[in-house]
Amino acid sequence: MKEQLYQYILSLGDNSMILGHRLSELCGHGPSLETDIALTNISLDLFGQVRNYFQYAAELKGEEVSEDQIAFLRYPHEYSNTLLVEQPNKDFAYVIARQFLFDAFHKPFLEGLCASNDDTLAAIAKKSLKESQYHLRFSSEWTKRLGAGTEESHERMQNAINYLWPYLGELFTVGELEQEMASYGIAPDMEAVKASCMQTIAETFAEADIQTPDSKWTQSGGKKGVHTEHLGFILADLQYMQRTYPNMDW
């Protein structure tokens, strides 16, 4: 049970870490100063969540394992983030679409995690939920602004949603690990999370004049360590200092 809990915590932290890194790539490249700062702050929020998850994971693991080792010294197949969060920043519409789909999932997920039988995870979720509410408000407002804006902004937003839609389903995939955690009352009810997420998406799309894609195909593999080529490049950036200067300390 202890090892399963450790792996489950890593899966939660990996999503926030990889998405946080993707947003950090935009620092200095936002369409306006205000938006640039907002995206950077969301990135910092996500990294704050990662630290909480990985500190707890390191505590469980023991054996002199640190949060830095967990974050920076694993191989790509040892990361269990979903494929959605590692998708590249093709343009601003893709950034917003990726963020909105994740936020629409993340908020109800954290709400469910607040009721976890694991007191530490519940505390992390309660703190993270406040940030997630802001993240969703930011990404949903931009989704509406782009979708119901000019002809070009609408087309770009619709194209981004069409491309990223197949990656949404993996967020709700319940494997053996999630089932076991749910049986102990640690993981939230994913059916309830999915219902809330899809309602948020439907309401936002209606205001944004965005059509929900018809595709039922779901991309998957990330939770099992099978990733796109993008993750390798992300980790090359993230792990450079730790790999080049082993055991470095600030």
Please tell me what DSSP assigns to residue 125: H
As a whole number of angstroms, the distance between CA 209 and CA 6 comes to: 42
Tens digit of pLDDT per residue, the chain (250 long)?
889 999 999 999 999 999 999 999 998 887 888 888 999 999 999 999 999 999 999 999 888 888 999 999 999 999 999 999 999 999 999 999 999 999 999 999 999 999 999 999 999 999 999 999 999 999 999 999 999 999 999 999 999 999 999 999 999 999 999 999 999 999 999 999 999 999 999 999 999 999 999 988 899 999 999 999 999 999 999 888 888 888 776 5
Question: Which pLDDT does position 30 carry in this prediction?
Answer: 78
CB 234 within 8 A of CB 22: yes
- Alpha helices for the chain (secondary structure H): 2-24, 33-61, 67-72, 92-113, 119-147, 151-164, 176-183, 190-208, 229-238, 240-244
